[in-house]
Structure 1
């Protein structure tokens, strides 16, 4: 399968299987939902570029995960963002389809107020992958 599909599925699985996040989030989406109850997570589509070697296919990219929450203050949104970052950084290196994570790091995170009592916390990661076999 493609690097996009394998990465997206691994990210959704990592977030959905985290004990803190699974108890709190209503759902983890891999595409913007039409309707969703907060708090929920959205794994955005990765922007990948070629990172191949002489004999292996490779991809380098950026991927963002956004948590949407409600609350007078952003305390829970901040905690959920921290749990999300930990879950993503602890993902298994083997993605499937022959793709393996070589490096994964948090690039930046941001919390914004979307309106009265509505928060969005975005964490952006850089990932480098090689396809084995």
Structure 2
């Protein structure tokens, strides 16, 4: 299994297993849902680059989770951003298939208006992992 697959599976599992988040959204998806009911989370494919050492294979990556919501204000969405951060930062250090997390940190988050009563929030993280 590739580093991308291991990371995507672990991210989906940690988000889907975070009860405070799942109680407030309709689902976690890895592609834009055809009939997704807002609010929901979309896990983007990670951008991975080489982070190998002399004797270990490694990857450094950017993980992105986009939240989609609707409403008069982004207040609820801001709370969902906090839940996504808590879930992702709780990613287990042992990912499987021999991959482990060396470091994980939140990089940035931003809430934007998509249109009348429609909101989106991007949550971005940096992960460094070794095999």
CA contact (8 A) 1:68 1:121 kept: yes
Q: What is the alpha-carbon root mean square deviation over aligned residues?
A: 0.8
CA distance in 1, matches of 2:17, 2:71: 24
TM-score computed with the length of structure 1 as normaliser: 0.95
CA distance in 1, matches of 2:11, 2:32: 15
CA distance in 1, matches of 2:35, 2:97: 31
TM-score computed with the length of structure 2 as normaliser: 0.97
CA distance in 1, matches of 2:34, 2:130: 34
Tell me by how many angstroms 1:72 deviates: 0.5
1:23-102 to structure 2, matched below 5 A, reads 23-102=23-102
* Cα deviation 1:82-125 (Å, max 9, x = unaligned): 11001100111111111100000011110000011111011110
Q: What is the match of residue 121 of structure 1?
A: 121
Tell me by how many angstroms 1:34 deviates: 2.5
Tell me by how many angstroms 1:48 deviates: 0.2
Is it true that 1:22 corresponds to 2:18 in the alignment? no
Which sections of structure 2, spanning at least 5 residues, go unmatched? none
